A = this chain, B = another copy of it.
Amino acid sequence: MPNYADILKEIEEEIQPLFSQGKVADYIPALSTVNAEDFAMSIQLLYGKSYHIGNTQHKFSIQSISKVFTFTLALKAYGKELYKRVNHEPSGNPFNSLVQLEYENGIPRNPFINAGAIVTTDALTSIYKENTFHTILEFIHTLTNDSSIQYDETIFCSEYQHGYRNMALINMIKSYKNIHNEIDDVMQTYFKQCSVMMNTQQLAQSMLFLANHGTNPKANEALITPSQAKRINALMLTCGHYDASGDFAYKVGLPGKSGVGGGIVAVVPQKMAICVYSPKLNSQGNSLIGTKALELFTTKTNLSIF
C-alpha cells in the first residue's frame, strides 16, 4: 500500500506554484469572502484508516457536490422511472446552460448540471414535501455519522437573492411540465442543499458508500443497490465536472464531483473516497488546485480506474 501520508505531503508541496492562478467564485458575496489560499485534502479508506493534510476542519459550502446526495436519494426512490425526467448524458455545455433544455423539451441532460439537479430536487419534493431538505440533511448525517452538519443561512439567502439563472432554469423546465411542485418550494430546498457546510473529512467519509457497492461501510447498511452505486460513479465520471468532465476523466481518471465552493470529491471503487478543497476555480468553475491535486494523486498512486 502506498504511503498516503507522504503522498499528501508531496502533493501539498507540488501545488504551491498554482496558488497564483484561478479565481474564487464571486457570483454571490457570501462565497467571495473565503480565504483564497486555503487547501485541504482528505483520504478515507474503505476500512478504517484516513489521511489528511491542510485545514481539514474548515467547513465550506458543498454547492454542487450536494447533487450526488440528491441524485442518490432520487435514484433510490424512483429507480429507472427517474430517467424519464432527467437523462444521463454529458452535456458538453457549462453547468448552467439553457440551450439544450430548449432543444430537448425540458429534459435535462444529466442530474449533475443545475437543470438536472433541480429536477432531482423536485422529484424528491413530490415524495418528502416540506421535509425534503430535512430528508437530504438526514441522509448526509447518516453517511457521515455526524448530525452537526447544517446549511449556512447567509449563503442560502445570498444564493436565493442572486439565483436568477437558476430561476430561469426552473421556469423553463416548468414550462415543459417537468417540474411538478411549486417553484419556490423546490428552489428553497435546492439553495439550502447547496449551502450545506462540510469539511473535507466529512465529505470524504460521505462518499464512501459509492466505493463500497452502495453500502455504508460503518453501519454495513445497503443504501442503494451495487448496480445503482456503479451508475452514480459512471455519471460522476462522464458528467461530474460540466464541460471539463472529459478533461477530468482524462487527467485524473476517477469518478468525481466538483462544487463551485471549491470542493471536489472523488471515488476509487472498492478502495477509498477522497475530498480536496481549494476555493480558486478554473474557467470551467472547478477547483483549479483541487483538480491538480487529484491528478497528482492518481499519478503517484496509480489508482485511476483505467
**Shortest Cβ gap from A115 to chain B (Å):** 11
> Does A266 touch B at the CB level, under 8 Å?
no
Q: Which residues of A contact B (CB under 8 A)?
A: 87-93, 97-103, 109-110, 164-165, 167-169, 171-172, 174-175, 227, 229-231, 233-235, 237-239, 243-247, 249-251, 253, 255, 269, 299, 304-306
Residue with the highest number of chain B CB atoms closer than 10 Å, among A88, A165, A230: A230
Whether B245 pairs with A238 at a CB distance below 8 angstroms is: yes
Chosen A-B contacts, 9 in total, with CB atoms closer than 8 Å, are A88-B247, A88-B250, A90-B246, A98-B99, A167-B168, A167-B171, A230-B304, A269-B306, A305-B306
Whether B92 pairs with A91 at a CB distance below 8 angstroms is: yes
Q: Which residues of B contact A237 (CB under 8 A)?
A: 237-238, 249, 306
Q: How many copies does the complex hold?
A: 4
A89 to B240, CA, bound (A): 12
**Shortest Cβ gap from A239 to chain B (Å):** 6
Whether A233 pairs with B306 at a CB distance below 8 angstroms is: yes
Q: Which residues of B contact A90 (CB under 8 A)?
A: 89-90, 92, 238, 245-246
**Shortest Cβ gap from A9 to chain B (Å):** 22
Whether B269 pairs with A305 at a CB distance below 8 angstroms is: yes
Q: Which residues of B contact A253 (CB under 8 A)?
A: 230-231, 234
A103 to B230, CA, bound (A): 34
**Shortest Cβ gap from A285 to chain B (Å):** 14
